[in-house]
Structure 1
Amino acid sequence: MKIHILILTFVLFPVLLFSQKYTISGYITDAGNNEKLIGANVFHPNSKSGTITNPYGFYSITLPKGKIELVFSFVGYLPVTEQIDLSANQIININLKPNIELAEIDVIANKIDVGVESSQMSTVVIPIKTIKSIPALLGEVDIIKAIQLLPGVQSGTEGSSGLYVRGGGPDQNLILLDGIPIYNVNHLFGFFSVFNADAINNVQLIKGGFPARYGGRLSSVLDIRLKDGNNEKIHGTGSVGFISAKLALEGPIIKDKMSFFVSARRTYIDVLAAPFIALYNQNEYGEKMKMGYYFYDMTAKLNYKFNDKHRLYLSAFMGNDKAYTNYKYESGNSYSNDEFFLKWGNIVGALRWNYMINNKLFSNTTLSYTKYNFLTEINSEYKDNSDVNKYSFDYISGIEDYSAKIDFDYIPNPSHYIRFGANNTYHTFNPGVNALKITSSNEEDINNTFGNQKVYTNEVYTYIEDDISFGNFKVNTGLHASGFYVKGKFYNNFEPRLSMRYLIKPNWSVKGAFSMMSQYVHLLANSNIGLPTDLWLPVTDSIKPQKSIQYALGSIYSLNKGVEISVEGFYKQMDNLIAYKEGASFLMVNDEWQNKIETGKGWSYGAEFLIRKTTGKTTGWIGYTLSWSDRQFENISSGQVYPYKYDRRHDISVVVAHKISDKIDMGFSWVYGTGYAVTLATERYSSMFWGDIEHYPRRNDFRMPNYHRLDFNINFHKKKKWGKRTWSVGAYNAYNRQNPFFLFYSYEYDNFGNDSEKVLKQASLFPIIPFVSYSFKF
């Protein structure tokens, strides 16, 4: 018997020894500034397996005991190879050195090609360096406008920062700043976004095949991560342009332990206009005028490293816009003062705790606060001898959130990457409150508040997902379960998610995805008004959650030298969409908001093509989208199916950045798109009592002229003793294309001044706009 045991032990010992496995974990950072590298590769060449870092730069990989080789890499960085004698669990932190001209052909055999290998599809990561190289309106680098250049994304009207992804509306985008939702992303009535590129570390857009950890919106996820701050030494960047100036500072508070990052930006349109307004005020009629507009935003972040297992982050963002006019008149005993204010803005704050529970399990706990407010204020005062009359009107709307969530990453082995977590958000909706106050010397005072009352709701969700690898297959499967409590009613939804990848070759894969999404908040927008009057509203007894089902199928092929080619087809169905009834708007204060809207459905489908180069002296992409997007509401357009306003059949974008030398680089972008859908009358009838009556057969039955535009910039760099300075020159709409902003009817006149016929004309917004800006880095 003892002999049998000895023989069995002798036979099984090598097997048991070989099956021993240990885990290597740690963080991958930029060697220059210690910023976490999100999505960096960890590759084990012997087994052809690996993993990537999470949003906090954390990685974990479990391998058999013995001497192993690991390759750590990231696009635009020199790879690092580590020889490790794996006999116990280890923590290994890696610093990668930037090298934007990295020859991809030398590295491709020793890394994971994330685009090809990942089970996730319809996802694009844009490096901040690329975003900063793209020409922008008035030289203002804009993350949202860079995203608009990708296939499957529409921009809305000329120059705006709206996002219309795969036929969805602007409310259907989950826009996250360090994991916290932001409800309004616009400055300057939509011409600029609230995101300061100097404060951003990473930008990722997901258009379909959504992982289970995301939810609450139908069409896209834009995940923007802030910089942590350099914990080695003080650095700063700044710039001065035509309309704004900005400054960012970062550095250690306690070296290698605690760091900070802070940035601020402000426009000075109001300051530049002040001399002209002062010149007007030098009149003889007792008239004084004051008017202006400005926006500002500020970002701050602190992070503290207790040890390799515990890290604490505190981040905040605040941005506001203000437009104002003030007109005064004074003559003898008469006096008048009229004021108008328009204000809107966001406040976001978050406290995060990263905890590496063990080498395989990582957690992130977040407490956050978000607020968006919109305010219109009108004040008037009139005095005539002894009579004094005062009038004031305020309109306030917005949304406020308190949220707590916890997320876990569990990586038991290279074949599984499990994520799970839960979230609870307490919403306060303010659908629009009006305050009217009138005082008079001769009449009874009026002081009245009316409109929609605040609505208090609670939204919860939990999720679990697993990235499973077996052979040439990789599957991401998961479930997102959500609930929404409002006024005694509880909605709940179970949303299965599935993404699959089959690896044909190491550099070629095919993918497919299915996702169900639900959305409990609506954005009620009035397309006839170019102001931030959009109302965020919850579901109710009569207004149900929006829902969508999306299918996607595609392929991605990676060439040498960082070139990647992808093609995707998609189909999306959306239910319970909302829109204003014909003739209704937010100005109809006597009606409950639910009575102003219609509910309907929509469809979108199409194909997207992308050729992208990410390394070398020349980088950029060529994108093309062929798509259809339709809507149907029972009482709009007589119940007919009609094209969505931002349905665009063809959309082309070409983006190129080229480094000529260490001192000069340049970039250009060219876009072309089918004209947007518009509603025009086709017949006109004369009426004895009502004048001309126009007949509109179907909504959005006509097209604006096609849109195209070329932008370019050239950057001149020079090293100084204190750092580096850059002069940038360029132009928006370089060949002065008169693109339509809106269409209108007008009359043409004959030689005698008589109107001869009614004609359709277009109004254009932006001609060629040259720009110059100065930036510095130290």
Structure 2
Amino acid sequence: MRIRLIYFFFLFTFTAYPQQEKLTSVNFKNKAFTEVLAYLEKAFNVHFSFQSNDVANRKINLSVKDKPLSFFLNSLQTETSLFFEVLSDKFIAIRQINDYDVITICGILKSDTNQILSGASILYLNTGLVTDENGAFKIQSVKANTLISFQFLGYISKYVEAKQLFNNNCDTLILKEERIQIETIIIKNYLTNGIDKTKMGSFVIVPKKLGILAGLTEPDLFQSIQLLPGVNSPNETATGLHVRGGTPDQNVILWDGIKIYHSGHLFGAISPFNPYITEQINFINKGTDAKFGDGVSSVLNIKTNDSIQSKLSGGFGMNLISADAYIKIPIIKDKFSLLASGRRSFTDIYQSKAYHETSEIIFKNTQPNSILSTDNNFFFVDYNVKGILKLKNDHYISFSNLLIENKLDFGLKELDDNGAPETDENSLDFKDLLETDNRGYAINWDKKWSPNFKHQINAYYSDYYMLYNKFKTEHDVKVLTFAKKNTVKDFGFELNTSIQVNKYSSLQSGYQFSNKNVTYFFLSTDSDQTKFEGSNISNLNSHALYTTFQSNKNRNYNLNA
């Protein structure tokens, strides 16, 4: 019994009084590092080994109470950035950190505006982690030479070796916000190949580079333009262009400098311009140049090839409505060449299903329920010819000729009770005859006098003609019920000059003269055969001077006066 009591007393004494870790308090103020180490050696009965160069000229500031040896080792390691390697219970080596030491690092990630970067990516050795909601991170057991990447969206990534963050007392690491100066963006291949947007906001269409556009089986200049912003055709025709709320008559259409007053076949269903000899179209729907001052809504400046042809070339095409061809002929080598194109419908010979479907769309709102169209003949033709003469380098003279012609013979016949056309002499028939054509001529002289100065002289004549007759046949008597005739004869002359002021700026100026002779005549007959007539002839001369300054060094400026 006595033996058991002694054993219990001994066990209780050992458990209640375990061996305690040594603690000490210090108050170092600008104390030499070597003196601090000497004090710790005595206080904790340990020995430090080091190279004199690593500890020389280092001062320590530390004031704590009742702290163990491990605390002092971590504190001194943080303040000196030296590596304290515990060799045994008694011996501790102090040295510079090397690339293969395994260390622990930590820190807080912030932006250069002191914003905490929560959720930032930290990547190293095919692994990684993210910062917490306070932007803090900690990486344990990583080699000192490990390259660590700090990344956050919108900031410049930072790459740091682990040893650079060693003993930084979890200080703040700064990422700078990424600021990118974006240069002016010029959209190329707008919608498709061959449609480019210029710095001034206009569009340049190059037909020979034009890619496939939705809904088109063959190139059509005007239908291509309808795909651009702000352009639509409420009546679903090719040439009825409404640009930014304007009407078709507010668009200026130029073909090699010739003003066009009639710009479509089949009441605008088909464009009259051959895309295979068209060099480019400059479509201006805003910021119109001063020299196009009469373009209220938009300007379509269509140009054919101005270069001298070096070899004979041509082409032929046909669809279910018309056939077209073009040819490019070198007449005098490197001096004079000729371009010609033409198109003719064969609807007066053969009317295909495609023609009938197009006709139904065009005439769907012109037939009352009590009559039936029994005769619908439509014919159109267009051609253009251009000659180009090269006098010397940068010195050209060209002439152009254009014809656009349409003829319509549209008949309506009364139906009988069975829905068949009436055949007796008391039947009522109507017939519409419409003829429109636009002829044009132009001559251009282009001369580049120096690298910074050039001029262009253009003279044109455009002749528009429209004649409409409406007949009614009743009891085999044909009566003219309405007639209308319109003509426009437009002659113009202009001188354009261009001076390149510097690399970014240019000055254009010029003089324009135009003479427009407009006539109209109409005749209407009512049921009593009473005739109403009206006519008018007007003549308008206009003179204009213009100046345009353009600069696009940093931003685009367009000053018109």
State the SS of the aligned residue for 1:145.
helix
Aligned to 1:406: 495
Alignment partners' CA distance in 2, 1:176 and 1:394: 30
Aligned to 2:346: 268
1:188 aligned to which of 256, 259, 266: 266
**2:541 paired with 1:458:** yes
Alignment partners' CA distance in 2, 1:338 and 1:475: 58
Pairwise CA distance, 1:336: 11
State the SS of the aligned residue for 1:186.
coil
Alignment partners' CA distance in 2, 1:477 and 1:118: 19
**2:557 paired with 1:475:** yes
**2:391 paired with 1:299:** no
CA contact under 8 A between 2:497 and 2:510: conserved in structure 1?
Answer: yes
2:241 aligned to which of 163, 173, 181: 163
Aligned to 2:83: none
Pairwise CA distance, 1:454: 1.6
Alignment partners' CA distance in 1, 2:204 and 2:237: 23
Pairwise CA distance, 1:381: 7.1
Pairwise CA distance, 1:131: 3.6
Residue type at the aligned position of 1:476: N
CA contact under 8 A between 2:471 and 2:478: conserved in structure 1?
Answer: no
Residue type at the aligned position of 2:434: L
Alignment partners' CA distance in 2, 1:209 and 1:334: 61
CA contact under 8 A between 1:378 and 1:394: conserved in structure 2?
Answer: yes
Aligned to 2:250: 172
Listed as ranges, the matches of 1:626-705 within 5 Å are none
Residue type at the aligned position of 2:206: P
**2:434 paired with 1:342:** yes
Alignment partners' CA distance in 1, 2:425 and 2:337: 61
**What is the CA RMSD across the aligned residues, in angstroms?**
3.8
CA displacement, residues 458-514 of structure 1 (integer Å, 9 cap, x when unaligned): 2232211122355x34533231xxxxxxxxxxxxxxxxxxxxxxxxxxxxxxxxxxx
CA contact under 8 A between 1:264 and 1:297: conserved in structure 2?
Answer: yes
Unaligned 5+ residue runs, structure 1? Answer: 1-111, 278-288, 480-778
Alignment partners' CA distance in 2, 1:335 and 1:164: 42
CA change 1:274–1:336 in 2 (3 A) is farther
CA change 1:291–1:153 in 2 (3 A) is closer
CA displacement, residues 649-674 of structure 1 (integer Å, 9 cap, x when unaligned): xxxxxxxxxxxxxxxxxxxxxxxxxx
**2:323 paired with 1:245:** yes
Listed as ranges, the matches of 1:39-78 within 5 Å are none
CA change 1:208–1:291 in 2 (3 A) is closer
Aligned to 1:122: 201
Alignment partners' CA distance in 2, 1:219 and 1:165: 6
CA change 1:115–1:363 in 2 (3 A) is farther
Aligned to 1:571: none
1:434 aligned to which of 519, 522, 529: 522
2:304 aligned to which of 226, 232, 246: 226
Alignment partners' CA distance in 2, 1:154 and 1:390: 40
Pairwise CA distance, 1:360: 2.5
**2:152 paired with 1:152:** no
2:468 aligned to which of 361, 376, 385: 376
CA contact under 8 A between 1:185 and 1:194: conserved in structure 2?
Answer: yes
CA change 1:113–1:422 in 2 (3 A) is farther
Residue type at the aligned position of 2:207: I
Alignment partners' CA distance in 1, 2:534 and 2:288: 38
CA change 1:452–1:247 in 2 (3 A) is same
Aligned to 1:98: none
Aligned length: 346
Alignment partners' CA distance in 2, 1:159 and 1:118: 24
Aligned to 1:636: none
CA contact under 8 A between 1:119 and 1:476: conserved in structure 2?
Answer: no
Pairwise CA distance, 1:379: 4.5
Pairwise CA distance, 1:337: 9.2
State the SS of the aligned residue for 2:208.
helix
Alignment partners' CA distance in 2, 1:343 and 1:304: 35
CA contact under 8 A between 2:197 and 2:204: conserved in structure 1?
Answer: no
CA contact under 8 A between 1:350 and 1:368: conserved in structure 2?
Answer: yes
State the SS of the aligned residue for 2:292.
coil
Alignment partners' CA distance in 1, 2:451 and 2:251: 34
Aligned to 1:133: 212
Alignment partners' CA distance in 1, 2:352 and 2:206: 39
CA contact under 8 A between 2:308 and 2:388: conserved in structure 1?
Answer: no
CA displacement, residues 598-633 of structure 1 (integer Å, 9 cap, x when unaligned): xxxxxxxxxxxxxxxxxxxxxxxxxxxxxxxxxxxx
TM-score normalised to the size of structure 2?
0.54
Kindly name which structure, 1 or 2, has the bigger radius of gyration based on alpha carbons: 2
CA displacement, residues 387-420 of structure 1 (integer Å, 9 cap, x when unaligned): x776474211242211111101112432431111
Aligned to 1:418: 507
Listed as ranges, the matches of 1:298-317 within 5 Å are 298-317=383-402
**2:276 paired with 1:198:** yes
Alignment partners' CA distance in 2, 1:148 and 1:235: 30
Unaligned 5+ residue runs, structure 2? Answer: 1-183, 189-195, 357-373, 414-420
Alignment partners' CA distance in 2, 1:343 and 1:150: 32
Listed as ranges, the matches of 1:704-715 within 5 Å are none
Alignment partners' CA distance in 2, 1:209 and 1:390: 51
TM-score normalised to the size of structure 1?
0.40
Alignment partners' CA distance in 2, 1:290 and 1:260: 40
Residue type at the aligned position of 1:324: D
Alignment partners' CA distance in 1, 2:336 and 2:185: 34
Residue type at the aligned position of 2:448: M
Aligned to 1:142: 220
Identical positions, percent: 27
Deviates more, 1:228-237 or 1:250-259: 228-237
Residue type at the aligned position of 1:478: N
CA contact under 8 A between 1:200 and 1:227: conserved in structure 2?
Answer: yes
CA contact under 8 A between 1:229 and 1:261: conserved in structure 2?
Answer: no
Alignment partners' CA distance in 1, 2:550 and 2:349: 54
Pairwise CA distance, 1:253: 0.9
2:449 aligned to which of 357, 371, 376: 357
Pairwise CA distance, 1:326: 6.5
2:403 aligned to which of 318, 325, 334: 318
Pairwise CA distance, 1:158: 2.9
Alignment partners' CA distance in 2, 1:309 and 1:196: 27
Residue type at the aligned position of 1:306: L
Residue type at the aligned position of 2:533: F
Pairwise CA distance, 1:372: 2.3
Pairwise CA distance, 1:122: 2.5
Alignment partners' CA distance in 1, 2:330 and 2:481: 49
CA contact under 8 A between 1:132 and 1:197: conserved in structure 2?
Answer: no
Aligned to 1:567: none
CA contact under 8 A between 1:229 and 1:302: conserved in structure 2?
Answer: no
CA contact under 8 A between 2:219 and 2:275: conserved in structure 1?
Answer: yes
Listed as ranges, the matches of 1:531-542 within 5 Å are none
**2:446 paired with 1:367:** no
Aligned to 1:60: none
CA change 1:129–1:325 in 2 (3 A) is same
Pairwise CA distance, 1:214: 2.2
State the SS of the aligned residue for 1:168.
coil
Bigger strand fraction = 1
Alignment partners' CA distance in 2, 1:316 and 1:204: 20
Alignment partners' CA distance in 2, 1:381 and 1:165: 42
**2:346 paired with 1:258:** no
CA displacement, residues 122-146 of structure 1 (integer Å, 9 cap, x when unaligned): 2121221354632555x34211111
CA displacement, residues 248-302 of structure 1 (integer Å, 9 cap, x when unaligned): 001211111000110011222232139999xxxxxxxxxxx76411222111100
